[in-house]
Amino acid sequence: MKRHLVSTAGLGRDDALLILDTAEELSQFSGRAVKKLPTLRGRTVVNLFFEDSTRTKTSFEVAEKRLSADVINFSAKGSSVSKGESLKDTALTLQAMGADAVVIRHHASGAPARLADSDWLHGSVINAGDGTHEHPTQALLDAFTLRRHLNPGAGRDLAGRRVAIVGDILHSRVARSNVHLLTTLGARVVFVAPPTLLPIGIETWPCEVSYDLDSVLPKVDAVMMLRVQRERMNAAFFPTEREYSRRYGLDGTRLARLPEHAVVLHPGPMIRGMEITAEVADSPRCAVVEQVANGVSVRMAVLYLLLGGAVFADGPADAPRTTELQEAAQ
């Protein structure tokens, strides 16, 4: 049995579908006038963010509050961390205060796994992004969005679908989480990037690699654009922004090369005019705003399964039926 979510590499197909199906059930409550469920009443969830965040932090907080959890937001800025306190002592402090779960974003790859493997915390650990390693809930909401567009229905996966992930693969934790999860769900992944923005050893990853975006677009069911993460760069990885945008940016002309059913994703924040033009970002085929809405449902599902409902099983498991969630809402 699993208590934590630190990586998509550790999720089996049944685990992943359980989360997606549960999120589908929970999304039905987002249209109600009163969106709250009492599932996590009396549980304390700490959002432990050592890096800046808008979408992820807000999405987790909304998900936690909709499940009636007691939420504590912890920011490294203005805390004892800025005075030199270690991750261990911070975790021990949170444990002493009775935290049932910790949602952690950290600049160091492996920090969530270190928390999960230690005895510093007795509650669940959810990885909200660690360095350039992984961002599992982002990959889950991406898969949830893709399934709704390409193969809707509970219990269904993404078998036979082809997804292009374009841009700064080298520094992207989203790309790493997605290649594991999408492959687990049966999809084929192709990375498209300049050679300088691909990690060493990528030939061992379960994906294809291409340097030519124009040749890939007509053959995919979805394209995910990634932001160039300049804050993680200490060298020049491409000549100019204009050159990068010309070779690897998604504009209206390239959008027209996609199959009619194909969808455009972006984990955000978008840099309009760099990896994606305003024309594409505002197109009906771009599901960025939908991804944000789906992120709340997916994170509610993760919290529900870890803290309120059945935890992830190593074997097949059934998602909670709508009637069970309705009973909880009464």
Active site residues: 55-56, 83, 105, 135
Neighbours of 302 (CB within 10 A): 23
257 in a labelled binding site: no
173 in a labelled binding site: yes
55 in a labelled binding site: yes
Smallest CA-to-CA distance from 166 within 321, 78, 87, 274 is with 274
CB-CB contact of 221 with 168 (8 Å):
no
269 in a labelled binding site: yes
Q: Cα separation of 301 and 308, whole Å?
A: 10
Q: Is 184 exposed, middle or buried (0-12, 13-18, 19+ CB in 10 A)?
A: buried
State the pairing for strand pair 188-192/162-166: parallel
229 in a labelled binding site: no
Q: Cα separation of 281 and 293, whole Å?
A: 16
Residues with Cβ < 8 Å from 295, sequence gap 6 or more?
55, 56, 59, 137, 138, 141
Name the token pair of 208. Answer: 């294809």
Residues with Cβ < 8 Å from 58, sequence gap 6 or more?
none
152 in a labelled binding site: no
State the pairing for strand pair 222-225/101-106: unpaired
Smallest CA-to-CA distance from 47 within 137, 109, 140 is with 137
268 in a labelled binding site: yes
55: DSSP letter: H
Q: Cα separation of 222 and 164, whole Å?
A: 6
135 in a labelled binding site: yes
Binding residues for carbamoyl phosphate: 55-56, 105, 135, 138, 268-269
Binding residues for L-aspartate, as ranges, are 83, 173, 227
* Known binding positions: 55-56, 83, 105, 135, 138, 173, 227, 268-269
